[in-house]
Every structure is written in C-alpha cells, then in structure tokens.
Structure 1
Amino acid sequence: MAERLNPGDLAPAFALKNSDGVEASLGDFHGRNTIVYFYPAASTPGCSKQACDFRDSLASLQQAGYDVVGISPDPVEKLAKFAAAEGLTFPLLSDPDHTVAGAYGAWGEKKNYGKTYEGLIRSTVVVDPEGKVVLAQYNVRATGHVAKLRRDLTVDA
C-alpha cells in the first residue's frame, strides 16, 4: 500500500487522459488551488452523488480559488458517458493502472463484507498553487463529503 500524503508534501505529478481523450496534468493547474478527488467507479450511486455534489458546488469553489479534478480507474469512454449523463463540467481523468492513485495513497487494501481486496480508496487531496498538499482526506464518504470539505476549506455557499 502506498504511503498517504500529508500537508506540506509535494503532490505527485501526473499526466492522464481526460474524458475527451486529451492528456491533462497536475501542471495544468499550477498557480491554482486544486481539489484532486479519487472515486472508485463512474456511474455508481455513491460516485454519482459525490460527483454531482462537486458539480453543484463548483461555482462557489471556483470563486474561492479552487479547481476540481476527479480521478478513477475507469476508461476514457466510460468517463465521457458519466460526464454527459451527470452534466459534469470539471475534468474527469482515467487512471486505469492505478499509478496516480497509488502515488497519492488512494489505492490499497480495502474490506467489504468481510473480504479483503485491493481497490481504490475514496480520497481527496487539496493541492496549493505551488504543488504542495494542503489537505489529505482518506476513506471519505460519498454523501456529505463535499459539504464537509467546503467547511474544512471555509468556502461559503
């Protein structure tokens, strides 16, 4: 299991394909605060709820100086369908081999119904304009997470 990030750590650089098949990188957000969130699977109830919460909060987050990027192991085609179905206007990135999730500590051992397996750990990392971690939250809940994150970042509605 990859080590989890802590405030002050340098956020691992990445370059992944977005839902349009175009490469996007952490460097694209240099100079901005960036919320990088990891979710297990597009178009599932929990992940849809979380993505829609980010969508509904996007204007106030951006007004407060935060960009949002979602990363999952899903293929580009599935991300495109998810974005279209839910009206998502922030980038969704495909990490099929879990390299970026691993670097961010968002891939590892999980337990579900008594079984242990490797999988994506729902996580959120906030990166400052210089690329340093400001906040790292792991094992977050899909429902209510964006509201809690807004409180933690003191972002008004």
Structure 2
Amino acid sequence: MSHQVLIKKLSGHEDLPLPERMSELAAGFDLYAAVSEPVELKPGERALIPAGFQMAMPPELEAQIRPRSGLALKHGITCLNSPGTIDADYRGEVKVLLVNLGSEPFLINRRERIAQMVFQRVPQVTLSEADELPESGRGAGGFGHTGTR
C-alpha cells in the first residue's frame, strides 16, 4: 500500500533536494541541512537544524527522524531525541535536533545530509483504565530482569 506525503519547500530553500532515498530499498529518506551559514557543533553541543520543508501526511502515518549511521560512526553526530516523531497533524518546518558526541568540532554545511526520515503506520489505540491487570509470565520485572551480561 502506498501513501502520498505532500512536501512543500520553504522560501529560500528551493535549491535543496527533496528528501530522498539513497538506494532502491532504503527505508529512510535523507534530509538536508537548510542552514544559511555553516553551523559549528562543538563536542557536547546540540543544535536544531532546519530541513527547509513542511509536509502533510495521511493520518495513519508518522515520520521518525533518525541518525545517519555514517555521521554517527565517523564523527559522533547523532539525533538527540532518536527517533524523533513528527505527527501527521504537524505543519511546521521539519527540523533535526543534532548533538555532537564526538571529540572534535563538526561543521554542518548547507545541503549536508544530516538525518533520515522513516515513515511508519500508527495503529489506532484506545486506552482503557482498569483496576486490575491480567498476570503475565514476566510480571513487574524491568531493567536487567532477564539476566546480566
């Protein structure tokens, strides 16, 4: 099943490519930095980087913003709230919250591929309050419950 997502480039960013898959079977669409001047991200710093577009998705979708593995491996650049969620009713500019976990400053230039956007279906869920919950084999076991390694 295919879903149509409408993309509107923002004024001043007509030169940027639309989000695009970099291979035929890629799950994510690469996003480009829509900065007017290079942004230096020092170790430990974070910055909200604009992507230069708005979009409209059908209500059954969400967009997840995820790191690019090459930036993470080579430079320690990742998305701080990963995956970041864009809801179907959001119409503002798409932006990416990047953080430098590396040991060297990193320069973000215009048209730099900074993250990827993956679309997911969102199930319709109804929450119901209950006085008691059914038992399970796991019970309340949480962090580290299944063993240590």
* TM-score, normalization by structure 1: 0.23
Higher strand share: 2
**Max Rg structure:** 2
Higher helix share: 1
Instruction: Specify which structure has the bigger relative contact order, considering alpha-carbon pairs within 8 angstroms and separated by 6 or more residues.
Output: 1
